[in-house]
Amino acid sequence: MKAKHFTLTRVRAVPPASLEMSFADGQRLRVNLAPIIGAHKVLAPLATPEVFAKPRLVDDGCAVAWGDDGLLELAADNLRARAIEQAGGYSHEVIYNWMARHGLTLDAAAQALGLSRRMLAYYRGGAKPVPRTVALACLGWETEQRKAA
């Protein structure tokens, strides 16, 4: 079953390089793609206004694509994460990447942060927004680990 919070229902290009997105959970977000278009050569065609102007949903809303060759495609979960971060929030990727960097299981990460396993799973999976306090706790834990090493 697809997660509603990562399933796009609508996408619209906003020149010069932004997308307005609606998700199945009712969330509407805008993401500026200029930084990633400039950072990845494979996305260079999106810098062309005529190409960028024609995004379409693919894979039942799990991604946005441009063109018919399948070379220009961005996943909905990554787009949502970038939009949240650009708006000043913390995406599920903060938790996911922190756990991966330190080889933490869900149980170990929950214990380190003083959270229930279930709540941390919600944050890591993107089902619930990551509170600033939790993102900062990840940074604090990392700092403590470096000091102890």
Instruction: Spell out the alpha helix ranges (H) of 17-131.
Output: 34-39, 49-52, 76-86, 92-102, 106-113, 117-125
Amino acid of residue 23: F
Q: What does the alpha-carbon distance between residue 41 and residue 27 come to, in Å, rounded to a whole number?
A: 30
Handedness of CA 52, 57, 83, 114 (dihedral sign): negative
Q: Which tens digits make up the pLDDT trace of 111-145?
A: 999 999 999 999 999 999 999 999 999 999 999 99
> Which position has the token pair 């307005």?
20
Residue 1, pLDDT > 90, answer: no
Q: Which tens digits make up the pLDDT trace of 38-89?
A: 999 999 999 999 999 999 999 999 999 998 887 899 999 999 999 999 999 9
Please state the φ and ψ torsions of residue 29, each to the nearest 5 degrees.
Answer: -135, 155
- Identify the structural domains of the chain with CATH numbers, from first to last: 4-86 (3.30.2020.10), 92-148 (1.10.260.40)
